[in-house]
Structures are given as structure tokens and as C-alpha cells.
Amino acid sequence: MVPKGLLEAFSTALNLILEGKVKETVHNAFWDHLKEQLSATPPDFSCALELLKEIKEILLSLLLPRQNRLRTEIEEALDTDLLKQEAEHGALKVLYLSKYVLNMMALLCAPVRDEAVQKLENITDPVWLLRGIFQVLGLMKMDMVNYTIQSLQPHLQEHSIQYERAKFQELLNKQPSLLNHTTKWLTQAAADLTMSPLTCPDTSDSSSLAGPSPNEATNNSEPLSPTMVLCQGFLNLLLWDPENEEFPETLLMDRTRLQELKSQLHQLTIMASVLLVASSFSGSVLFGSPQFVDKLKRITKSLLEDFHSRPEEAILTVSEQISQEIHQSLKNMGLVALSSDNTASLMGQLQNIAKKENCVHSVIDQRIRLFLKCCLVLGVQRSLLDLPGGLTLIEAELAELGQKFVNLTHHNQQVFGPYYTEILETLISPAQALETKVESV
């Protein structure tokens, strides 16, 4: 007997397919009907008039407020009353009007649509031409929507920042203790920064990537910067214990996104560690091939999807697949394949990567966190200029992670900057501070 759930799923899928087929059939039927009307003797222009009226409305909607001359020209060329009179006398020139519309589309379309408009100029059949015009006009309407959204984005963002801050202030007025967890979070960040600061290297000097020695960290006398304290606080969120309920109040709305970034960071740590270990067994020939490296990335990423639920099984599968891929690729290239001892050593090292105390895991994790800190201070693109060893093979993935992290923290800083400034002023004495306030809007 077929399970009920399977039947329901099949029925839903079938309905969606049929719905799509019905729409396509109706759509085709309309254009077939238009062709019959225009081919009749005398021709029937009723559908053509409706199409031209709609085309006119779309063209007008694509105009900017200052384009009054074009607006007047379109109104006159596609005047509904005039077209009706021409249709009644059998003198409506559909092909001629379509060519006029094409010329106007060429003026109004974005550069990305130039080719599509040019292709329509070669169509001589009026029905197929009108059909093509509607398809491209649909794309142009979407272009205009996207342009409008992009134009309004700064205003929308500004409104969003002000709105979020105002709502939070309302809650703070009712609950004066609402910033207690935020204060504790920043206090811990300041303490962490004083004891073991991770400083971004100058883009021309990578000598400081290893970080300060324990003695240097303990005796650190560098003055604290409010921005650096806040950056350290944001980094600490990527290490947050899920059982700790004292999450900063100002970041509660972003907690889920931060958890996703934390998972992505962990996956990249494993991936970079796997690639680093694998490269030591593969040689420069294999790892000199971007295709081979990308293949190892895909294998690792797909097999790590179940890491949180069954880490030991997942990393075992990764080690087996990576070892097999390296062994087979060496053989295919006529190079010396991995011996049984080397294979066992490779698999053992790969499996140990899952342990946080593993040396490779620990170093890669620290370097990725340092990269993220540099992203907050210097920006993503500048931070990518001097990636520490072991991270160059995941540059694209790091750029994506870094940009997400910067976007999230930047928006949060813009909204809650005044509150952070007030808290940090109580944590950092004027003699220590390098800056007077946290960036905000």
C-alpha cells in the first residue's frame, strides 16, 4: 500500500505541474487568438489595441519623473483614441507601432537588455514581435524595481536604524536593567583584550601573525580602544556557550545569524585543516591544480553537513574519501601513490583534526578569528591582501564569511553605538582611551 504522505506529496507536485501547464496553455492560446484576429479579412484589432494600451502603460512606468519630453512623445504616439480610430478604418499599423516601441525600449532599457532588444529588431512577424516585446518589457520592469530599491536602500536603512534604536529605547525606559548583559559582555571583552590581545598585522608585515607571547600579553600596556573592545566582544560571540543565557540584549535579534556564522567558521576551520594536512601528503603537483583543490573542498563540505550530529563518523568518512582521492589522483598522474603507511598516517592526522586540542585545528581556528578581527578593523578586501599560511586555499570562503560578519556587526554598531559608547566610557578611563565614541548614526 502506498503511504498516505507520499500520495499527498505526489498530488501536490502533480497539481503544481498541471497549474504551470494550464498557464502556459492559456498564454499560448492568447497569442494564437491574436494571430487569428490579425490574419482575418478584414483584420480584427481588438486584442492588439489592448496589448498596445498595456505596452504604453509599461513604457510610461519606466520613465523617471524628469523625462517629460519622452512621456509626451509616448502619449502621442500610442494615443488610445487615435489608435481606436485607425483600427475602425482598418488602418492600424501593428508592425510599425511595434518598431516604434522597440526604439523606445532601446532608449529606456538597462545595458544588460541591449542584446535582447536588438534580437527583437530582426523579427518581422507582428505576433511574435509583440510576444517578444512583452517578455523583454517584463524584464525591464524588474530592472526598474531593482533600481528603485537600490536607490531607496540608504533611506530605508537609515529608517531601520532609527526605528530599531527607538524601539529599544522604549524597552529600556521600562526596564532600566536591560543593558546588564551587554555591559557584562563588553567588560569581559575589555578584560580579554588586556590579557591576550590579537592585533591585526599591517598589510605589509605578517610577522605578528603568531600573536604576542604570554609574558607580552600579561604585561600589555597598550591603551584600550573602544572600537577594539567592541570588536573583541563581537568575536567572543562566535565562541558563545549555548547554555549561557546572559546573551547581550543588543544582539538578541542577531543570535540565530551569529550561530550560523559560528557553524560556518567551524566548518571552514575543519576544511582548511584538512587541506593543510592533505597538502603535506600530496605534493605541489596535485595542490597546484585548482580543480583538485576545489574537489577536495566539495568532498569535505558535503561530508561535514552531519558533523554536529555525528562528528566521529563524519570526520572518519572525510579522512577515507580524501585519502582515496589523493591516492587515485597520484596514480592517474603517473606519480608515486601513497604507501599503506602513508595512507594510515594521513587518515590518522585527518581524523585528529576534529579534536579542538589538535595543533593544526587550533592554529587554523586562531588564524581565522584573527582574520575576522582584521575584517572588522581594516575591512574585508584589505584583510585578504595578507592571509596567514593555511588560509589561502579558502580565500573565497573566508571573504564570504568575513563580509557576512562585517555586515551584521556594522548594522548592530550603527543601531546601538550610543549605548556602547556610554558603557565603554565607564570601562575605559580617559587616560587609556584612544577614541571618544563608538561609530554610530
Cis preceding-peptide flag for 154 (omega within 30 of 0): no
Report the share of the chain in percent with pLDDT over 90: 34
66-100 confidence digits (pLDDT tens): 899 999 999 999 999 999 998 888 888 888 999 99
C-alpha 345/C-alpha 327 separation (Å) is 13
Range in 172-176, 313-317, 400-404, 437-441 with the lowest mean pLDDT: 437-441
- Structural domain boundaries in the chain: 4-148, 254-428
C-alpha 410/C-alpha 417 separation (Å) is 10
Cis preceding-peptide flag for 42 (omega within 30 of 0): yes
Given a contact cutoff of 8 angstroms between Cβ atoms, the answer to whether 380 and 403 are in contact is yes
Q: Which three cell numbers stand for residue 243?
A: 547554555
Given a contact cutoff of 8 angstroms between Cβ atoms, the answer to whether 284 and 314 are in contact is no
More confident residue, 185 or 437: 185
Q: Is 225 helix (H, G, I), strand (E, B) or coil?
A: coil
Given a contact cutoff of 8 angstroms between Cβ atoms, the answer to whether 401 and 419 are in contact is no
Q: Could you tell me where the DSSP H helices lie in 196-289?
A: 214-218, 226-237, 255-287
C-alpha 71/C-alpha 81 separation (Å) is 17
341-388 confidence digits (pLDDT tens): 888 898 899 888 888 788 999 999 999 999 999 999 999 999 999 888
Cβ-Cβ contacts under 8 Å for 291 (sequence gap 6 or more): none
Average pLDDT over residues 308-322: 83
C-alpha 96/C-alpha 118 separation (Å) is 16
